[in-house]
């Protein structure tokens, strides 16, 4: 029977570390880290994410600045706002909530964010830095997953790691972080043949597919660490992961639940990145 990794608990611990360090820095330097969150349009899921990010800022003692723009906002208007925020000393981190409406090219927006304020770590400069292992920021979801793996006490070095999914925001950076820790990493995707044979060899299995209950018990090695990144909304409104939880818990040694696993970590890592940005911009080492 698997030990369930408590993402809420680990996330609260990370936030508490950030809060304590922030308190010390505010006392010493007399200014607070600031995060600007930009939301364009009325997507209800995005609104929830933005509210949660603002709440997390309050918890750790950051200033948050919200920019809620209309659905009709043009790319030029959004680029202008990003430039203003790039130049604003009170803003250490900038996050443009994705997806943006279709008249806006999200790549152009990400590229316009100053890499020093790119707390999502989506800017090509930061992506390249991750590749060579010389980074200031890690993308929040994979970074949060590393914290969850570390919370098990299991050393990644030498382990067979399998990541299902090769997206730029989860799969690829996840594989790179596991590789930086000397895992032996295989990346699987929709064209992978004999997927179950590969996943069954994984000591550490990360599922970032976006398909409910995609990973079944027979795809899991006994004693594996299984991390479920999926957030799939079922017809009954319930949130469901990519891993069949009931089957996986009979095979895995450690397993993340959905909700309450990877999800809460993402925001905590955003807070950590914003604190890092504040320190870098104020030359605090």
> Interface residues with ligand NAP (CB under 6 A)?
141, 164-167, 169-171, 188-192, 195, 208-211, 229-232, 262-263, 266
| Of residues 167 and 281, the one with the C-beta less far from ligand NAP | 167
120 is catalytic: yes
Least spacing, CB of residue 57 vs ligand NAP, in Å: 17
Indicate which residue of 15, 97, 228, 242 is catalytic.
97
Least spacing, CB of residue 31 vs ligand NAP, in Å: 29
| Of residues 78 and 198, the one with the C-beta less far from ligand NAP | 198
Q: What is the DSSP letter of 46?
A: H
Report the run of H or E that residue 265 belongs to, with start and end: helix 262-281
Indicate which residue of 15, 53, 159, 272 is catalytic.
53
Count of CB atoms situated within 10 Å of the CB of 102: 8
Least spacing, CB of residue 146 vs ligand NAP, in Å: 13
CA gap 186, 157 in Å, rounded: 14
Count of CB atoms situated within 10 Å of the CB of 250: 12
272 is catalytic: no
In degrees, rounded to 5, the angle at the alpha carbon of residue 145 between the alpha carbons of residues 217 and 224 is: 30
6 is catalytic: no
Sign (positive or negative) of CA dihedral 151, 157, 162, 166: positive
| Of residues 166 and 279, the one with the C-beta less far from ligand NAP | 166
| Of residues 98 and 280, the one with the C-beta less far from ligand NAP | 98
| Of residues 203 and 242, the one with the C-beta less far from ligand NAP | 242
Count of CB atoms situated within 10 Å of the CB of 120: 24
Least spacing, CB of residue 247 vs ligand NAP, in Å: 17
Indicate which residue of 15, 32, 117, 120 is catalytic.
120
Burial status of residue 46 (CB atoms within 10 A of its CB: 0-12, 13-18, 19 or more):
middle
Q: Which residue's CB comes closest to ligand NAP?
A: 167
Least spacing, CB of residue 263 vs ligand NAP, in Å: 4
CA gap 239, 237 in Å, rounded: 7
CA gap 187, 57 in Å, rounded: 34
| 190-to-169, 175, 195, 235 alpha-carbon distances in Å | 17, 16, 9, 24
Catalytic positions: 53, 97, 120
């Amino acid at each position: 029977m698997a030990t369930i990794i408590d993402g809420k608990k680990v996330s609260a611990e990370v936030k508490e570390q950030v809060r304590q360090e922030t308190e010390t820095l505010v006392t010493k330097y007399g200014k607070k880290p600031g995060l600007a969150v930009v939301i364009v349009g009325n997507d209800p899921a995005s609104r929830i994410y933005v509210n949660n990010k603002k709440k997390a800022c309050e918890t750790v003692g950051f200033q948050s600045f919200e920019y809620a723009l209309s659905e009709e906002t043009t790319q030029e208007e959004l680029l202008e706002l990003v430039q203003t925020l790039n130049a604003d000393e009170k803003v250490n981190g900038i996050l443009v909530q994705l997806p943006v409406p279709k008249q806006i090219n999200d790549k152009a927006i990400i590229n316009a964010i100053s890499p020093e304020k790119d707390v999502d770590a989506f800017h090509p400069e930061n992506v390249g830095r991750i590749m060579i292992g010389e980074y200031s920021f890690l993308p929040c979801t994979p970074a949060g997953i590393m914290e969850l793996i570390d919370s098990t006490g299991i050393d990644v070095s030498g382990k067979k790691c399998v990541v299902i999914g090769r997206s730029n925001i989860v799969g690829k950076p996840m594989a790179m972080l596991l590789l930086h820790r000397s895992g032996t990493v295989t990346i699987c995707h929709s064209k992978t043949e004999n997927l179950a044979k590969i996943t069954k060899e994984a000591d550490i299995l990360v599922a970032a597919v976006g398909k409910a209950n995609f990973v079944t018990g027979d795809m899991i090695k006994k004693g594996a660490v299984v991390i479920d990144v999926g957030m799939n909304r079922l017809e009954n409104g319930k949130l469901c992961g990519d891993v069949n939880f009931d089957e996986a818990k009979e095979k895995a040694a450690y397993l993340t639940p959905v909700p309450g696993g990877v999800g809460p970590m993402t925001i905590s890592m955003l807070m950590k990145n914003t604190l890092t940005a504040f320190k870098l911009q104020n030359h605090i080492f």
